[in-house]
Structure 1
Amino acid sequence: MYDIYSNARNDLWRFSLGKDGRRKLFTIGLNPSTATKEKSDLTVAKVEGAAQRNGFDGFVMLNLYPVRSTHYNALPVNVDAEAFSENLNHIEALIATEPNPVVWAAWGESVLARDYFLTAAKELIDRLRKYGTSWQHFGSLTNSGHPRHPSRLQYTWTFSELDTSRYAQVLDT
């Protein structure tokens, strides 16, 4: 089903999942849930649909943290440093290969649930700057200024530029 797939630890960590194309949408959610190389889940299905409806012929689902969980509150409070580091390196390596990368920030308010989510978001914004990354959000930002998660999306929404300088201030509050 998906020709882009990278994982580790007997698939307990998932780094990337998607379909190749000439123009890929890189989407960064919070953490992977149940989608695998062979089957989708609600979030991945919505990401794929949004990508197709907006002129992308491929997509890659990434996450701030690679450890699988059907709910972010079930994740450990303390970060697994190896998982964290390997994930950010994997994301950067993928973005580095793409000319004019478009990244959809799609982690939602739940980014506040773990300090390592916030740290990952800040670090990725900083790391990916050198690749000319176009950061986007879908629909309006939440009341507190965070990009919405795909599980809440409406297909009538559109992509808008995410002002990463302004958003970095939101992450620091």
Structure 2
Amino acid sequence: MTTVALLRGINVGGHHKVPMTALKSVFERLELTGVQTYIQSGNVVFDGDIGRPALEAALLQSFGFPVAVLLRSAAQWQDIIGRNPYPLQAGADGSKVHLTLLDAVPTQAGLAAFGAVPSGADEWTHSGLEVYLHTPDGMGRTKLNPDRLKVTTTTRNWRTVLRLGEMLSGKS
């Protein structure tokens, strides 16, 4: 099975540094095959069957700090791409649309807390285990903080989402 693993909170602001070669080695030591990383934010495409707890344990053992991992199959990823309610306009680079992946469906209280933030021109759509964000002024300026959802999250810009989709398609 071809899968993408998205790691939360590595290589951000000089904290929890994880070299991509070392990350790739962790996956290969777990006997996962076809391991490819994409940029420094912790995106790994691989073939094999492994659960989140085993991956998180291996990462903790290898790097000495806990790393939350969210997994999606190639089919799930293509579905995620197809459900984007904020299609890119011609010439857009994908930096204003983001995908936040969730490890669980947030409660109504979590969704209410997230939606209660004055967000100006920013828009969001919750869909199962994902939240799609449109931030016309950029992610750095949005008041929409996925941590308010009270579930484990990690966010990627749409360029990264599409590139991971290409990587997953190339392996199928």
Verify same fold: TM over 0.5: no
Work out which of the two has the higher radius of gyration on C-alpha atoms and give 1 or 2. Answer: 2
Bigger relative contact order (CA 8 A; separation at least 6): 2
TM-score tier (shorter) = under 0.3
Q: TM-score, normalising length from structure 1?
A: 0.25
Q: TM-score, normalising length from structure 2?
A: 0.25
